[in-house]
Amino acid sequence: MPEPLARCYEGLPPPRLTVVEPKQLPSPYRELLVHDGTMTQMLEGFLGQRLALRVLAQERTGSSLWRQVVLTESVGGRPVELGAIRIDLTCFDERAMALVLEGRVPLGRLLEDSRLEYTSRPECFFSTEADAPMSEALAVAGAQRLFGRWNRLLGQGERVLAEVVELLPPLEAAPMRRVAARK
């Protein structure tokens, strides 16, 4: 299990993740998960609005910031992603680090707005059955099937800026606005 997610489940039974090949992901999950940008970027394009960040838990250990977060619609507040993330604070200048620590802006939006160079490298895609913590955070009823990815955001010299596990709630297909993929 990816370390950021395992950290959220310390002392609890971990969720069972089933690895899924990208082409086997159903729509709209394939379009939202299989790309080289950030989930913030893709979800904002899909929903047609900016996202807000709600920090559920946070711990700073040395130069690492560990978080469990929910991205929500800025209008309406509906949860659209549950994330478990480890951020290497030494990869950010003083201003960007202050914004990260403030916890008000999704990391993907912060990366885009600060024009920090990065590469997104998804490690795997998976499905899982929503457990109680996931259901509560994403406001879903019962043990529904969720889809997600484990992703690494790499900076200069392939240094890991952040490692994140991203889970999406049940979503209906919707026309997606065109979002330019990062190269």
In a domain, 181, yes or no: no
In a domain, 159, yes or no: yes
Which band of pLDDT confidence, cut at 50, 70 and 90, is reported for residue 173?
A: low
In a domain, 24, yes or no: yes
Question: Which has more confidence, 125 or 157?
Answer: 125
In a domain, 177, yes or no: no
148-163: pLDDT as tens digits: 999 999 998 899 999 9
Please state, in angstroms and rounded to a whole number, the distance separating the CA atoms of residues 51 and 41. Answer: 9
Note whether 41 and 179 are within 8 A (CB): yes
Please state, in angstroms and rounded to a whole number, the distance separating the CA atoms of residues 11 and 170. Answer: 27
Which token pair is 22? 């990208």
Containing domain of residue 88, as a range? 3-168
Please state, in angstroms and rounded to a whole number, the distance separating the CA atoms of residues 117 and 100. Answer: 16
* CB-based contacts of 180, cutoff 8 Å, min separation 6: none
- Classified as helix, coil or strand, 59 is strand
Which band of pLDDT confidence, cut at 50, 70 and 90, is reported for residue 24?
A: very high
CATH of residue 36's domain is: 3.40.1410.10
In a domain, 107, yes or no: yes
**Overall pTM surpassing 0.85 (yes/no):** yes
pLDDT of residue 134: 94
175 pLDDT more than 50: no
In a domain, 13, yes or no: yes
The count of structural domains within the chain is 1
Q: What is the mean pLDDT of the chain?
A: 90
In a domain, 16, yes or no: yes
Q: Count Cα atoms within 13 angstroms, Cβ side, for 179.
A: 22
In a domain, 176, yes or no: no
Nearest to 65 by CA among 47, 32, 91: 91
